[in-house]
């Protein structure tokens, strides 16, 4: 593990391998770079790979601030420049996929392609109500219990029980001021506009969850490719890595 400091905030990362194009991996909310273990080894055999801990997660600092998609995207762009990672394929799971999309829209010179894995994209009109309830719970007297209950919905009957326990135990370690801010700020983020502005090749890997309106996404971005995995819940990069990696 290494750290780079941006404007006083230490951002943790790890890297391995050599070869182009490089790949940058961005984890989901309440996760960390360790959620990419099944990808880093295989891809490092032929590519330079970098996995980051977003601010507020893992071994990165967690300042009290608004945690917006723009802040995360700026961090990843800054980290790529700091490490000399040029034109990487940016691969993001869940929140990380939205960060990758915002990165491509906000910093068009940075990414050469974007892979989004089962992110909440163009959600239903009921999404803000769900998020407001979650944010209130995360700011209530039992934030760990609230996050645990929400994450319980992310799994399928096929998922490994021990891995599920590890994911849940990891998630609740993320400070609630971070998770509540992420979900609160996500309501104001314009995913449709980010899709329109993304000009690099784009792949969405669908785990079969109701997270994305892929029909509308395809209308906004007809060039977007869609892949599908089977046999897992939301954490497909961990549960069915051979499918995701392919």
- Give me the mean pLDDT over the 29-52 stretch: 98
Residue 244, C-beta contacts closer than 8 angstroms, at least 6 positions apart? 38, 39, 117, 205, 229, 236, 237
Q: To the nearest whole number, what is the mean pLDDT of the chain?
A: 97
pLDDT of the residue at 49: 98
pLDDT of the residue at 200: 97
pLDDT of the residue at 99: 98
DSSP state for residue 141 in the 8-state scheme: S
Whether pTM > 0.85 for this model: the answer is yes
85, 57 contact by CB (below 8 A) = no
Q: Regarding predicted confidence, which is higher, 124 or 99?
A: 99
d(CA 50, CA 36): 10
25 pLDDT more than 90:
yes
d(CA 171, CA 190): 26
d(CA 159, CA 191): 29
pLDDT above 70 coverage of the chain, percent: 100
pLDDT of the residue at 59: 98
18 pLDDT more than 90:
yes
pLDDT of the residue at 1: 82
223 pLDDT more than 90:
yes
H or E element at residue 108: none
Beta strand ranges found along 79-201 (DSSP E): 89-93, 113-117
Q: b/e for 209-246, b at 16 or more Cβ within 10 A?
A: bebbbeeebeebbeebeeeebeebbbbbbbbbbebbee
pLDDT above 90 coverage of the chain, percent: 99
Residue 74 CB neighbours (<10 A):
18
Q: What is the pLDDT of residues 84-99, one digit of tens each?
A: 999 999 999 999 999 9
230 pLDDT more than 90:
yes
- Give me the mean pLDDT over the 148-173 stretch: 97
Residue 106, C-beta contacts closer than 8 angstroms, at least 6 positions apart? 70, 73, 74, 77
């Amino acid at each position: 593990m290494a750290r780079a400091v941006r404007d006083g905030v230490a951002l943790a990362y790890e890297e391995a391998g050599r070869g182009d194009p490089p790949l940058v991996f961005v984890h989901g909310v309440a996760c960390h770079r360790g959620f990419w273990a099944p990808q880093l080894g295989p891809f490092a055999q032929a590519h330079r790979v970098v996995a980051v801990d977003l601010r507020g997660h893992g071994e990165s600092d967690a300042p009290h601030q608004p945690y917006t998609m723009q802040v995360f995207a700026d961090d990843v762009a800054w980290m790529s420049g700091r490490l000399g990672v040029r034109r990487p394929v940016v691969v993001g799971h869940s929140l990380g996929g939205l960060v990758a999309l915002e990165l491509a829209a906000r910093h068009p010179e940075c990414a050469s392609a974007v892979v989004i894995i089962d992110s909440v994209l163009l959600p239903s009109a009921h999404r803000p109500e769900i998020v407001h309830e979650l944010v209130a719970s995360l700011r209530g007297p039992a934030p760990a219990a609230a996050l645990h209950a929400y994450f319980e919905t992310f799994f399928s009957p096929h998922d490994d029980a021990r891995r599920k326990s590890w994911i849940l135990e990891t998630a609740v370690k993320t400070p609630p001021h971070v998770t509540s801010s992420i979900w609160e700020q996500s309501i104001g983020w314009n995913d449709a506009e980010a899709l329109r502005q993304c000009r690099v090749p784009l792949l969405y890997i669908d785990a079969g969850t109701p997270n994305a309106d892929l029909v509308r996404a395809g209308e906004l971005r007809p060039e977007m490719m869609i892949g599908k995995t089977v046999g897992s819940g939301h954490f497909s990069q961990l549960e069915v890595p051979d499918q995701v990696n392919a």
